[in-house]
Chain A
Amino acid sequence: MSVLLEVEGLSLRVRRGAEYAYLLERVGFALEVGGTLGVVGESGCGKSMLALALIGLLPRGVAASGAVRLDGTDLLALPERARRATRGRRIAMVFQEPMRALNPTQPIGRQVAEGLRAQLGLGRAEADARARALLDRVGLPAGVASPHTLPHRLSGGQRQRVLIAIALACEPALLIADEFSTALDMGTQAQVLALLAELVAERRMALLMITHDLGLLAQVCARALVLYAGRAVEAAPTAALFAARRHPYTEGLFGCSLHAGHTAPGTRLPTIRGQVPPPFARGPGCCFAGRCGRVEPDCLPEQPPLHAAGPAHRVACLHPVVTV
């Protein structure tokens, strides 16, 4: 399969006074055409920053280095004008909060058509017709919501569907979903996710999903990337990860998840002690050492590199979990 997105040595650096810190440190992965990748980790691990770096909407003061190649073109090297042309057209993004991501004063049809007109240069009539077809496709046919409906008339799930329609409008090659649907209740969440998965498969789009919910990861993504404190600590096919975690952090995450584990009700849940070290307080060694139950003296002097731990399974740990 041909590679669509190739991220290599991506680092995001911020400065405070004379100090530097990394929000992301030499993160690399590849995503093929039509592939699905889930990025998991706690908040503060750099998941959302990764999404913003890919789409080119990093906040001021964050400097990116490394390479983000889409179809072989390094996006980080492109000038802003060229970058803007890829946004929406080649890479689209759906956001977490459907309430904030929609303009409350514009009818939904116009919001879907906006990208079509701006990026594809379609005329008003044609864009409107396409918008209507898209709303139909995402499960908002004329009977449910007309293109003239304003967002506040819709439920959370329906708004999320509008966001999907907007993201799909220009048929992007890569769709990024950041904590998508976590604001919804589970029934609606399942429906919207099913729709998303279906559309991704139907249009051969690649999907990069950022989530802290391992249940969603299992449902939607073929591969998983575990980020911890700005570093990639484990990468594997989702099924392999569910069968055997190698990094103690991944193991910890699975342990405390109520959706991935099988904990008896009312019993004490396993937890990971402590919290993610903030960017300016990360030492030279393994970033998880301070919270890890398997830490050894050799974890401290330097960062363990990613190494192979199985077919297509890589882990950055000197003392990985071994399951027999």
Chain B
Amino acid sequence: MRRPAPPRHPSLWAGTLILALVLVPAALSAVWTPFPPGAIDIAHRLLSPSLRHVLGTDPFGRDVASRLMVATLNSGLVCAAAIALGGLVGIPLGLLGAAPGWGGALVMRIADLGLAFPPLLTAAMLVAAEGTGIAAEIVAIGAFNVPAFMRIARGGALSVLHRDFIAAARVAGRGRVAILLEHVLPNIGAILLVQATLALAIAALSEAGLSYLGLGMPPPLPSLGRILADDQARIFDAPLLVIAPGAVVALLVLGCNLLGDGLRDRLDPTLAPVR
């Protein structure tokens, strides 16, 4: 069996580059920011971009770039935690759903029900029920990722389960759990990774939406959505205040989507759309 030359993956590189552009400064903010992100300096409010303040200052004289760095980190951590939660709950349930019989079917019908709700609405409902807070927001965003992970895990598991090496493992006397953990999970790892990356894009958007609505992480923690909400009135006199956080959200979503597509092409060419 001969393979043609491996195709290039421009979207993989573009995605990595865009995400690095946004996430490296965000990670850096954990140890260093140009200015303390919460430092109020009314004397220097609403400054235009300069070498000192690359993105200018906000109505309280806080450095916009510093605040964005921290906000991106906060939002990113919340999203990552939410995806982890979605995966940790959704993947085992999805594998359970691949089991033959009515049990698996029931699990999947519940997942369908979950998918029927619009994500942001689900999240808003959950936050309304549990009150705001970081944990609530993580649960809210994670919750609507559970059914998505379930479906992907189940679909992947079903296609792996009918292959001969599963039959061989059964002939070898291995139990169900061992087969799921040692054979099925590693073989669907690639598609789960792709799913996680694509889900991250939606999570970033949801996080921004929730904190914009005031349902996200509580003040004074800066988050992308909150900065947008706080400064939206300034769109005409200081447009950068609104454009910058918006651009960061857009870049996060774009980067995740490109990376996810690229990973899919790279890891599993059979999943790629036909060109």
Contacts and interface: CB of A to CB of B under 8 A. Distances in A.
Interface of A: 14-16, 23, 43, 49, 59-62, 279
Interface residues of B, number: 4
A60 B4 contact: yes
B2 A15 contact: no
The A interface is mostly helix, strand or loop, or mixed, namely mixed
Nearest to A46: B2
A60 B5 contact: yes
Interface in B45-80: none
Nearest to B5: A61
A60 B2 CA distance: 12
B124 to A, nearest CB: 41
9 contacts: A14-B2, A15-B5, A16-B5, A23-B2, A43-B1, A60-B5, A61-B4, A61-B5, A279-B2
Interface in B1-56: 1-2, 4-5
A14 B2 CA distance: 10
A23 B4 CA distance: 12
Contacts of A14: 2, 5
A15 B2 CA distance: 12
Contacts of A62: 4
B1 to A, nearest CB: 8
Nearest to A278: B2
Contacts of A43: 1
Contacts of A15: 5
Contacts of A59: 4
B210 to A, nearest CB: 43
Given A59-B4, A60-B4, 12 more contacts: A14-B2, A14-B5, A15-B5, A16-B5, A23-B2, A43-B1, A49-B2, A60-B5, A61-B4, A61-B5, A62-B4, A279-B2
Nearest to B2: A23
A43 B5 CA distance: 20
- Best-buried of B1, B2, B5 by chain A (most CB within 10 Å): B2
A59 B7 CA distance: 12
Nearest to B3: A59
A93 to B, nearest CB: 18
A60 B275 CA distance: 13
A175 B2 CA distance: 24
A23 B2 CA distance: 10
Interface string B211-237: 000000000000000000000000000
Contacts of B1: 43
Nearest to B6: A61
A279 B5 CA distance: 14
Contacts of A23: 2
Nearest to A59: B4
Contacts of A16: 5
A23 B1 CA distance: 12
B225 to A, nearest CB: 45
